Amino acid sequence: MTDQPPHPSADHGHVPVMVQQMIDLLGPALPVGGAGSDSSPVLVDATLGAGGHAELALRTYPHVTVIGIDRDESALAIARARLADFGDRISFHHARFDELPEVVAAGGHTRIDAALFDLGVSSMQLDRPDRGFAYAVDAPLDMRMDPSGTLTAADILNTYSHGELARVLHEYGEERFAGKIASAVLREREREPFTNSARLVALLYETIPAATRRTGGHPAKRTFQALRIEVNSELAALSEALPAALDLVRVGGRVAVMSYQSLEDKIVKREFAVRTASRTPPGLPVELPGSGPEFALITRGAVRPDDDELHTNPRSAPVRVRVIERIEEKG
């Protein structure tokens, strides 16, 4: 390992979560020689953002190349500037992470050594009021991670039926009062379409019972999460991208996922459970040759941020980290 700063700078508007721990967890998958004797190890940063994790990986492992993917053009612009000194050791791709196989193939790779998914909304997006992710400030109801997308949070509020809206709030926000909120939204949008977040937040304060508001956190948190997930198809994209990354990783390669809410974490846990299960038919007394698990868990349960991380970066509090390693070739 080369000398490096203890933590990538926050000068780029984003403090990466658990950055040193993540690079250390992926390190054993990044040996000299990589996926082939004539190639460098390949790390796919499927959620590049401002490039904090990628920067430390490039500094720590000077033989590694990084494929950086992000759906947010503004984040990619920041990462390009931040990582310009690394030249062709990193490539930048404007894409959703469920397009990972196409991006990897376009770079001429058939296998990868590691992949990192840092899910959810970034500090850069939360801190820009015009993006509409934060309920603490009045802003347009946008919430698109890729501003070139067509669906916005306002579109959902103003066009979805009662049943559709209640489903989104219940499934993606785990909101107990989904039906009641949907009814209030439909009633209010008849008077005037929703455009800004302050009006929605006020409606949620009026609709959610006072007892729940006192004990359940900010009343807008679950609704804003649900709208953001629906706008960006986040769970569907994760359900496609994670199996694709696991299929691409070589023996000895690792995939790390950082989840920030239970719905993401359930998808990761379920996929990891499938990949670490024996393929021997149930009931047989011994493992059939070639039917052992393809993967092994590196983290037992979810790794959480320590006190130092929480002090440095309070937004890391919800994160759950899970890492898996391929131990056998498929088939």
Binding residues for S-adenosyl-L-methionine: 51-53, 70, 97, 118, 125
Please, what is the Cα angle at 125 between 76 and 311, to 5 degrees? 105
Q: How many C-beta atoms lie closer than 10 Å to residue 279's C-beta?
A: 12
Residue 311 DSSP code: H
Distance CA 325, CA 293 (A): 11
| Strand 249-259, strand 295-297: pairing | unpaired
Contact 70, 48 (CB under 8 A): yes
Give residue 10's identity as a one-letter amino acid code.
A
Distance CA 315, CA 317 (A): 5
Contact 68, 48 (CB under 8 A): yes
186-206 in b/e form (b: 16+ CB < 10 A) is bebeeeeebeebebbbebbee
Contact 242, 100 (CB under 8 A): no
Q: Which residues are annotated as a binding site?
A: 51-53, 70, 97, 118, 125
Distance CA 329, CA 290 (A): 9
Backbone angles phi, psi at 261, to 5 degrees: -150, 165
Residue 175 DSSP code: -
Beta-carbon contacts of 200 under 8 Å, excluding residues fewer than 6 positions away, are 135, 141, 157, 185, 194, 220, 223
Residue 196 DSSP code: B
